[in-house]
Chain A
Amino acid sequence: MSLYIAHANEASHQEFDFGDNVDVGTFEQILDMDEGEEDDGHEFSRSIVFGFLEQAETTFVKMERALKENDLRQLSELGHYLKGSSATLGFTKVKDQCEKIQHWGARKDETGSNPETDDKKNLKLINESLKKVRENVEEVNNLMVKYYKQLEGEE
């Protein structure tokens, strides 16, 4: 389901299609922070975006370890943690997967509204979700590399 119709009037943003990977409105807020004399090269947003990608990688490693140890609680916390930063940047798909991991880790169903006490099932679902979220992060990574190249090219 694609929800956002990008509302920016100006051109450069709409020309770049993030698909449904990025909530444009939220991401704009981060880009807005670049503007200022001290930051002509989009350094701030770039550092945040790529900082996030690193954070994601570290988190995934921790998640894999927790998976091996069947530590659902740890998985839930890690899911929540990465959910927070992906939400701040508007990386919707990543955020949605992290939220599911958080819920399964808390022994609930994927929406978090009903309990799910079958731990094997929960671990299996998290394992699948972790693969997906890695793919999502990879996609975001590629998009962002392209996007910042395009920005540099323009300036």
Chain B
Amino acid sequence: MERIFALTPVPTIVLDESLHIIQISTSFCTRSDLDATACRDLHIYDFVRTKTPELNVHSLQHAIDKALTTKQKAFSTTVNSSVQKNNTTTTSTTTSWHFQVTPIFEGDKLLYILVEAPLEDNAPVDDHLTKEPYGDPRYTSETYRILINSVKDYAIFMIDKTGNVTTWNPGAALIKGYQQEDIIGKNFSIFYGEEDRKARKPQKELEICLREGKVEDEGWRYRKDGTRFWANVLIRPVHRGDKLYGFCKVTRDLTERKAAELRLISAFEEASKLKSTFLANMSHEIRTPMHGMLSALSLLMDTGLTPEQHELASIIQESGSVLLQIINNILDYSKLAAGSFTTVMDVINLPGVVYNVIKCNQASLKPNVTFDSRLDPKIPRTARGDPLRYRQILQNLVGNALKFTDSGSIQIHVTLVNNDETSYEVMTEVIDTGIGIPPNLTGSLFTPFTQLDNSSTKRYTGSGLGLSICKRLAELMGGTIGYRPHSALSGSIFWFIVKLSRLEVQTSSFPVRAAPNVDITRLAAGKQILLAEDNLINQTVMLKLLRKFGFEKVDVASNGEEAVRAVRQKPLTYSLILMDISMPVLDGIEATTEIRKSGLDIPIIAMTANALKTDEEAYLAKGLNDYVPKPVDRELLLRVLEKWLQRSISLA
């Protein structure tokens, strides 16, 4: 046995329990040029100090102490020594050493200590690396071990190629609840939830990690006791040379942060909703006096002002209109943002809307611009949708086109892109030859409160909300909105797609004989209606139409005053009033106000040719219940009558 240690090629010293040398190998003696017998029985520290002063006694001492406390093998730091070989006088070799200390215990009793000093490297050593202790691999690996073990907030561990855990740090034990002995050798998929495991997420993560060199993920992970925490996980592959050695995995517990984020988000959403509601309320409140101001102003302008006064009043009027438009936009936008915006399903007549939009905008057309439309013959003449909202989008896009087009043309193209048994998808494009949009700005087109022209010399007014309102509206109508540059020419193409439903009852197209709707006949039975309309022709047509619907008793008033009188005389007679807005003596709105003053809540439906959205809202505010544009569309009237008569039945 003695010969093992005497002849081992690794320079070795064997110590007894009191750290005295029992044996020293020939390889050690040869390297340090020593006589073996002279070394026996020396205390190891004395030995190092006297015989091999080039070695660092402190580093050895440290390693031995550590080995005795841990009962594990310990390493000293590396020492460099220049040994002058006795047979050469001119060269010296620099060698680096480290001690490897192995304590040998029997139970708790120390028997021997084995101190080995394997030769590390014979090559000349890079000074820079070795003089600094940090460059020393032994030193650094030890430091890292300490580092990893003291990081309690991160689980840092290694897994092998197949995903089995090979190391475990106290942080991992704290976060995941597994002790080292529980987990070493187990697959890391144990930390994942059942669904993740079913989806093979752990395996996939390793695959991605190999492919991309890294995986980062956030998600729920599970502790030993089954509780879960929100984790941030980072996995990186570890290679040794070209070979995959395993993976290192760092997990952080972000449960607290996640909860804080959620709290922040909900607080933000709440605040944002409050803001929108506030905006909506305020804009509404501002709008009412604005209307008052503008109407008073237009009266004032009719009172024979001097040219100078008139000029100033015009400026007030123009600014007032711009302001009102902006307030309307803000109101719409905030309603949309607060989610309190709804579309009203009605009969929509696409050619009619397009025609109206073109007509209403003729006045704002610049002299060198032509404005027309092209309608796909396949588009439905009538369908179910929200005509006001559709018109609002179209008007907005056309308004922009008008603003930015100084010469050339503006065109509206309406095409049917899709249709099935229940619905149509209609694309509407507004094509202009205006200034167009710089490519770098197309991204922010539909962002609220953005205006492309932010220069101080702004030529164009507006709230910067128009397009984002359009976007929301198009989405509300089951569609999308977009932009593309006008090919060949300068200019823009804005397009939007909306989904319209087919009418259940096809509008009777001439000369198909349409049977009256069964529902309306049933609803009409025994009901009396008051029709207030001043034009004899319209009276006759409406009477005929109502009779066709099955209303046998229809009273007619030719102005607002007559209507009020009729209602007051027979307060409980009428189930519904159809009210023309512009009538002599007392107009429809005044008449409605009078009727409401009498405490009567009969449904009153306005009929007017002023098909503007703001007017419609004003009517509703004045106590009118609904609104039918003129000329009265049969289907639309039918639906409105159904809606209000049914309502009065269910209320009664």
Q: Do A55 and B537 contact each other (CB < 8 Å), given the known contacts A31-B511, A87-B631, A115-B317?
A: yes
| Distance A1 CA – B540 CA, assembled complex (angstroms) | 31
Chain A's closest residue to B584 (CB) is A77
Q: Considering only CB atoms and an 8 Å cut-off, how many residues of chain B contact the other chain?
A: 47
List B contacts of A115 (CB < 8 A): 298, 301-302, 314, 317
In the assembled complex, B375 has its CB within 8 A of some CB on chain A: yes
Provide the residues of chain A in CB contact with B314, threshold 8 Å. Answer: 115
By the criterion CB–CB under 8 Å, are A7 and B548 in contact?
A: no
The stretch of A106-114, A126-134, A137-145 that contacts the partner chain:
A106-114
- Contacts A81-B535, A85-B535; A29 near B351 (Cβ below 8 A): no
Q: Which residues of B contact A117 (CB under 8 A)?
A: 301-302, 310
A107/B541 contact (C-beta < 8 A), A1-B373, A31-B510, A88-B630 known: no
- Within 8 Å by CB of B538, from A84, A90, A114, lies A84
Q: How far is the CB of B342 from chain A (nearest CB, A)?
A: 28
Contact mask A1-25 → B, CB, 8 Å, 1/0? 1011101111011000000000001
- The stretch of B152-160, B354-362, B395-403 in contact with A is B354-362
Closest chain-A Cβ to B362's Cβ sits at a distance in Å of 7
- CB of A85 within 8 A of CB of B538, answer yes
Q: Which residues from chain B contact A88 at a C-beta distance below 8 Å? A: 535, 537-538, 541, 630-632
Residue B241, interface by CB 8 Å: no
A90 to B634, CA, bound (A): 13
A64 at the interface (CB under 8 A from B): no
A113-B511 in contact (CB<8A): no
Q: Is the Cβ of B544 less than 8 Å from the Cβ of A33? A: yes
When the two chains form the complex, which single residue of A31, A55, A90, A111 contacts B360, counting CB atoms closer than 8 Å?
A111
Docked pose: A47 CA to B301 CA in angstroms? 44
- Whether B240 sits at the interface, judged by CB under 8 Å, is no
Contact A30 B541 (CB under 8 A): yes
Residue pair A32, B630 in contact (C-beta under 8 Å): no
For residues 619 through 634 of chain B, which have their beta carbon under 8 Å from a beta carbon of chain A? 630-634
- What 1/0 flags go to A78-121 for Cβ under 8 Å of B? 00110111011110000010000000000101110111010000
Q: Which residues of B sit under 8 angstroms from A51, Cβ to Cβ?
A: 536-537, 540
Complexed CA–CA distance, A117 and B381 (Å): 40
Residue B194 is within 8 A (CB to CB) of chain A in the complex = no
Counting CB contacts under 8 A, is A44 at the interface? yes
The reply to whether A83 and B510 form a contact with Cβ atoms under 8 Å apart is no
Tell yes or no: A147 within 8 A of B by CB: no
Q: Are A33 and B351 in touch, CB under 8 angstroms? A: no
Q: A35 at interface (Cβ–Cβ under 8 A)?
A: yes
The yes or no answer to B349 lying at the interface (CB within 8 A) is yes
Residue from A30, A32, A89 having most chain B Cβ neighbours under 10 A: A32
Chain A residues within 8 Å of B548, by CB: 33, 36
Q: Which of B168-227 contact A (CB under 8 A)?
A: none
Instruction: Kindly state the separation between the CA atoms of A27 and B372 in the bound complex, as whole angstroms.
Output: 23
Query: Contact between A84 and B609 (Cβ–Cβ < 8 Å)?
Result: yes
Complex-state Cα separation, A113 to B314, whole angstroms: 12
A25–B536 Cα distance when bound, in Å, is 21
**Which B-chain residue is minimally distant from A9 (CB atoms)?**
B509
Q: Check if B16 is an interface residue, CB within 8 A of chain A.
A: no
Q: Which residues of B contact A110 (CB under 8 A)?
A: 363
Q: Which residues of B contact A7 (CB under 8 A)?
A: 381, 509
Give the interface of B toward A (CB within 8 A).
298, 301-302, 310, 314, 317, 349, 351-352, 354-355, 358-360, 362-363, 372-373, 375, 377, 381, 508-514, 534-538, 540-541, 544-545, 548, 580, 582, 584, 609, 630-634
Given contacts A13-B510, A84-B630, A88-B535, 11 further A-B contacts (CB under 8 A): A1-B372, A3-B354, A5-B351, A5-B375, A7-B381, A32-B508, A32-B514, A32-B634, A84-B582, A111-B360, A117-B301
Question: Closest 6 CB pairs between A and B?
Answer: A85-B537, A111-B363, A28-B510, A87-B631, A84-B535, A7-B381
A-B CB contact pairs (8 Å), 20 listed: A4-B351, A8-B510, A25-B349, A26-B631, A31-B511, A32-B514, A33-B541, A35-B511, A35-B513, A47-B540, A55-B535, A84-B534, A84-B582, A85-B536, A88-B537, A88-B631, A89-B631, A110-B363, A114-B363, A117-B301
